[in-house]
Amino acid sequence: MCVNPGMAVIIGNELLLMESVGHNVLMGFKVKRVLYQAKSPYQYIMVAEIEDFGKALVLDGLIQSSERTEYIYHESLVHPAMVLHPNPRRVLILGGGEGATLREVLKHKTVEKAVMVDIDEMVVEAAKKYLQEWHQGAFDDPRSEVVIEDGMKYVEECLKRGEKFDVIIMDLTDPYGPEVSKGLYSREFFSKLSSILSDDGVLVTQAGNSFFYRDVYDMVLENIRSVFKHVEEYMVWVPEFGYANNFILASKVHDPRSLKAEDVNARLQERGVKTKLFNGEYYEALIKMPIIRG
C-alpha cells in the first residue's frame, strides 16, 4: 500500500491520518471523527478529533496544533519574545490562524494592540467555530485586530505607513511546507521585519525542525543571523508533531542570554501573565539548551 503524507488510510477498522515527520518518516494518528474539512484557495483544511489528543487543526495533512497539547507550542513560541522586550505594547502576529498565539500575547497587560495577519479566512472562520479552546475569545478582545491578508503584503504596507511594532511573532506553516509561507522565511523579508520593528524590537519565528529538515532550517537561521545582532535558537518537543519544534529568537539590542529566571518571573508577575508551562526557569533552560541538528 502506498501511503503519502497527509493521507487518511484505513488499516483494519481504523481511520488513520498519516503525517509527514521527515522526508522519509511518517506518523499515524487514529481519527475518531472529522468535524470539518474544506479546500481553501491556499490549503486543505481539516478539523478532526484524534485519539489521545482531542480536536486538532490539520493543514495540508500536517497537524498544526491539538486541543490537549497546543499550550506547549504556543507558550514556547510567544513568551520568550514577549518577556525579552521590556514593555511590549504593539505586537504583530503573522499566521496564527487558530487564535492561540493571539491569546497568549494578550495575557501581557502591557499590550495595547495585537494585530494578527493570516492569509486564509477559512482557517480563521473554522477556528472561530470549532477551536474555542484555542482562541478563548481572543479574537473579540478590544486590543485585537484580525487582518485577512498575505503577511508579505501586510508588511509592505507597514513599511509604507512607517508603522512599527515592539514584537513580531511568526506562527506560519513550516518553511519546508506549503508554498504560501515560504517567502516569509527569506533574508529580504527578515530585513523588512527589522525595518518595521521598534529600535529595541524582538522577533521570534517557529522554524520547523533542525533534525529532519536541517538544510531548510539552516537557511532560515542564516537569513535571520544576517539581519539581527542577537539570535538564539531553542527547541521544544511538540507531541503532535513527532519531533522537537525549533524556534529562533532575535533582537536588535536585547541579548536573550542577559535575561535571568528571576527577571522573567518578575516580568510575568508584573504583567499578570498566567501560564501552564512557561516560567523563568523554563526560559533559562530553553535559551541554554543545545540544538539537535540532522
Give the amino acid at 259: L
Which CB, 57 or 78, lies closer to ligand SAM?
57
Measured distance CA(271)–CA(257) in Å, rounded: 21
60 belongs to the binding site for ligand SAM (CB under 6 A): no
Q: Can you tell me which of 111, 184, 193, 197 binds ligand SAM, judged by CB under 6 A?
A: 184
The residue with its CB nearest to ligand SAM is: 97
Measured distance CA(67)–CA(75) in Å, rounded: 14
| Torsion from C-alpha of 45, 51, 52, 56, nearest 10 degrees | 10
CB of 191: closest distance to ligand SAM in angstroms? 17
200 is catalytic: no
CA 172 from centre of chain: 6
Q: Which residues contact 214 (CB under 8 A, 6 or more apart)?
A: 293, 294
Q: Take residue 99 and report the three cell numbers written for it.
A: 487564535
CA 242 from centre of chain: 16
120 belongs to the binding site for ligand SAM (CB under 6 A): yes
Which CB, 65 or 110, lies closer to ligand SAM?
65
Chain residues 21-50 in contact with ligand SAM, contact rule CB under 6 A:
42
65 belongs to the binding site for ligand SAM (CB under 6 A): yes
Q: Take residue 153 and report the three cell numbers written for it.
A: 503584503
Which CB, 150 or 284, lies closer to ligand SAM?
150
206 belongs to the binding site for ligand SAM (CB under 6 A): yes
Counting Cα atoms < 13 Å in the Cβ hemisphere of 200 gives: 11
CB of 122: closest distance to ligand SAM in angstroms? 9
CB of 265: closest distance to ligand SAM in angstroms? 26
Number of residues that bind ligand SAM (CB under 6 A): 27
Neighbours of 250 (CB within 10 A): 28
Chain residues 238-267 in contact with ligand SAM, contact rule CB under 6 A:
none
99 belongs to the binding site for ligand SAM (CB under 6 A): no
User: DSSP letter at 141?
Assistant: S
Instruction: Judge whether 221 and 187 are in contact, CB under 8 Å.
Output: no
Report the DSSP pairing between strands 8-11 and 62-66.
Answer: unpaired
169 belongs to the binding site for ligand SAM (CB under 6 A): no
Q: Which of 120, 166, 171, 174 is catalytic?
A: 171
Residues in touch with ligand SAM (CB under 6 A): 42, 57, 59, 64-65, 73, 94-98, 117-120, 123, 150-152, 171-174, 180-181, 184, 206
> Which residues have a catalytic role annotated?
171
